[in-house]
Structure 1
Amino acid sequence: MSNGTPENVVQAIYLRCQQGQILWERPRGGLRVNISPPKYFVALGQEDKPFRLCLESNAGTNFQVFLEQTDGVSESSSGNGERRKLLPFITPKKKKSSTCYRINSPSATIYVESQHGDQDLLTTSPPPSTTTTSGSKDPYQVKISYEIEELKIPQEGFSDDECRPCSDPEVLQLYCEADVVARGEILSVLPSTTRKGMDNLHIKSNLVVHQNHPVFQPLKSGNKNLQKFLLQDTPTFDQDSPKKVPKLAKSSYFGGIVSHPSKCAAQSGPGQFLWLIKLSFGRPKIGCVVYWDRWMQVAKQAEALDKANCRLVYQ
């Protein structure tokens, strides 16, 4: 979207995709974005159920971004009697680049307010087009990426669904949908240097079943190479334009780095796991992880009952 509306007008758009991006260049006034889960959530019985909305912003200066929720305590009330809560995502004093929210209503609403006046836009030359594509922050541009995730079914003993183990049906479903499937152990868990509240899990794998992006690469031998690998942050891939992943070279082990919420308190140590990894904003993130021995039992049972939706590797 680009400017072309009066300074005091609020434009409204409605989105119903599982993920997408809002790009507003040299704007005036405000923007109201209503985001709902995609239609196939209805077929899965997820309509009107809570969901997780993750936002990531690369906003320039003089923008404010708020998320509205119609549950709990709020600062003002809406006309239908519900209480409205405005959660600051980007403000002049509070800047966040990546945050996830639990949405307890059928949809979520984002408000974007430009504090640029008409005179600012008229007297300032637009930045070169290369500024937008390079990923640097343009002071006259706001870019918000979003992703919608299903919430896992609550399980006793786990108050946060992001940290609870996946059920057997969830593992089987994600095995066929994951961007990366591998077997391996955790070498180290270190706080991310670029994303607050996230850890980097460094994984040593002896089997990469498949990957849509080159998350796992041959792990070179030697302490120097290992230390270099352990200091790396979670990589970022172009999720919208996946490239053909080259066939992995022969190697005894492969190294991969994935992100995981720090609150889940992952620990390194011996033990072989099945890793099911999805890309979130271009970064590898754990979808499900289960002990390999347990995965062998689940896979064999699924094949015996003809419940496997794709070819399962468990040997």
Structure 2
Amino acid sequence: MRSGAGCSRWIVLLSLLESARATYSEDQCSWRGSGLSQQAGSVEQIALHCAEGSLDWLYPKGALRLSLSPRLPSGAVGPGGAGRNSEHITACIKPAETFRGAQIYLERDGILELLVPDRLDGPRPPRVHCFSRQPGEKVALFLQATPHQDISRRIAAFRYELRGHWNTRLSVDTDTVHYEGACRPCNDTEVLMAVCTSDFVVRGNIRSVSNDIDLHVSIIRVSASRIFRQKYALFSNGGRLSRAGEIRTLLQCGVKPGPGSFLFTGRVHFGEAWLGCAPRFKDFRQAYEDARDARELPCELALD
């Protein structure tokens, strides 16, 4: 019996050691590891190099310091080009619903700012938090394990997204960042550029608008008559001649239902569509035709 019990203990120990090994995804977009392999008071250095990915810290113990330095594609940087904006990074993190056992700090030039507290039995779901890194700034995420006698069932996990010089129209739910000008109507130049660079470009009508006061967002339900582009399957079958989908925007923008056809453009953040430019379709068509006649189109769209 002793021999069997000893063998079982070794199997459990080997299993724990195996789970404690930190692993990177092959493209260094994600990291998964365990605090069981860390010494008390230690800080493990982690670097990820993708525009989006995830981190899963099982049984948090000690601390992690995460450096995010994506190799951004040329299309991710702003209109000024890679030379001017390549060091300007906007990042957003979305903690998992089951985030437990650690706190996330933003480390900016040696100063720590709490972004995500430890959710023991928090009544509200974790929110998306965003921050920017200006050229020359040293920015990292610092994860500090919170002491608990029982570390089982505690996993500090989150997803992240990074882009180059996102403009002020980036619309995400956040407690700490406010984007000036997010509700300002786009001019013709911005609309035509949005058609080229957005994750989705859809013609449709507003079916309804609902407001989530807690999350500070408005949810626009759209009936899409034509999908020019969508990065993910955002719009599903909503009828014989249309598809239905939801687009989010900031509550402060005061979006209301209205008649007419619109061209909806925007970005996808953590699987959700967020509104960018949304002119009436007839206004977009006029701007598009004027730019085409002047040979100033940044890209073409098959309108007919």
Q: Is the 8 A contact 2:168 2:180 kept in 1?
A: no
Is 2:94 aligned against 1:56? Answer: yes
Determine the C-alpha separation between the residues in 1 that align with 2:179 and 2:113. 24
Q: C-alpha distance in 1, partners of 2:68/2:186?
A: 27
Relative contact order higher in (CA < 8 Å, ≥ 6 apart): 1
Match of 2:14 in 1: none
Aligned to 1:266: 255
Helix, strand or coil at the partner of 1:289: coil
Q: CA deviation at 1:298?
A: 2.5
1:109-139 Cα distance to aligned partner (Å, 9 max, x none): 211112356x756xx5xxxxxxxxxxxxxx3
Q: Which residue number corresponds to residue 86 of structure 1? A: 113
| Per-residue deviation, 1:86 | 0.9
- Paired with 1:163 and 1:52, the residues of 2 have a C-alpha distance of 19
Q: CA deviation at 1:257?
A: 1.1
CA distance in structure 2 between the partners assigned to 1:283 and 1:153 by the alignment: 18
Quote the residue 2:160 is aligned against. Answer: 146
Alignment partners' CA distance in 1, 2:279 and 2:209: 17
- Give 1:102 shift: 4.1
* Conserved 8 A contact 1:204-1:253: yes
The structure-2 alpha-carbon separation of the partners of 1:168 and 1:103, relative to structure 1 and needing over 3 Å to count, comes to same
Q: 1:216 to 1:92 in 2, by over 3 A?
A: closer
Q: CA deviation at 1:37?
A: 5.8
Is 1:101 matched with 2:102? Answer: no
Residues 159 and 43 of structure 1: CA distance in aligned 2, closer, same or farther (over 3 Å): closer
Using structure 2 for the length normalisation, give the TM-score.
0.69
Runs of at least 5 residues in structure 1 that lack an aligned partner in the other structure: 71-77, 79-83, 125-138, 221-250
Structure 2 residue 205 is matched with structure 1 residue 180: no
The residue correspondences of 1:241-256 to structure 2 (distance < 5 A) are 251-256=240-245
Could you tell me how far apart the structure 1 residues matched to 2:168 and 2:266 are?
19
Partner of 2:107: 68
The Cα of 1:187 is off from its aligned counterpart by 2.2
Based on CA coordinates, which of the two structures has the bigger radius of gyration?
Answer: 2
Asked if the contact 1:183/1:292 (under 8 Å) is kept, the reply is yes
> 1:5 maps to what in 2?
38
Separation (CA, whole Å) in 1 of partners of 2:187 and 2:44: 42
1:52 and 1:161 map into 2 onto residues whose CA distance is: 16
Partner of 2:191: 171
Counterpart AA for 2:106: L
> Does the Cα contact within 8 Å between 1:53 and 1:147 map onto a contact in 2?
yes
Once the two structures are superposed, residues 85-106 of structure 1 have per-residue CA deviations (whole angstroms, 9 ceiling, x without a partner) of 5133223477762223342534
Following TM superposition, by how much is the alpha carbon of 1:309 offset from its aligned partner in structure 2, in angstroms?
Answer: 5.0
Aligned AA for 1:214? A
Match of 1:197 among 209, 213, 216: 216
Aligned residues: 251
Contact 2:118 2:146 in 1 (8 A): no
Q: Shift of the alpha carbon at 1:147?
A: 1.7
User: Whole-Å Cα distance in 1 between the matches of residues 100 and 168 of structure 2?
Assistant: 40
Inter-CA distance 151–196: structure 2 relative to 1 (3 Å threshold) = same
Quote the residue 2:64 is aligned against.
Answer: 31
Could you say which residue in structure 2 is the equivalent of 1:235?
Answer: none
2:141 alignment partner in structure 1: 110
Give the AA of the match of 1:28. K
Displacement after TM superposition at 1:60 (Å)? 3.3
| Structure-1-length-normalised TM-score | 0.67
How far, CA to CA, are the matches of 1:314 and 1:44 in structure 2?
34
Contiguous gaps of at least 5 residues in structure 2: 1-31, 170-177
Alpha-carbon spacing, 1:101–1:153, altered in 2? closer, same or farther (3 Å):
closer
User: 2:264 pairs with 262, 266, 275, which one?
Assistant: 275
| Aligned residues of 1:259 and 1:285 also touching (Cα < 8 A) | yes
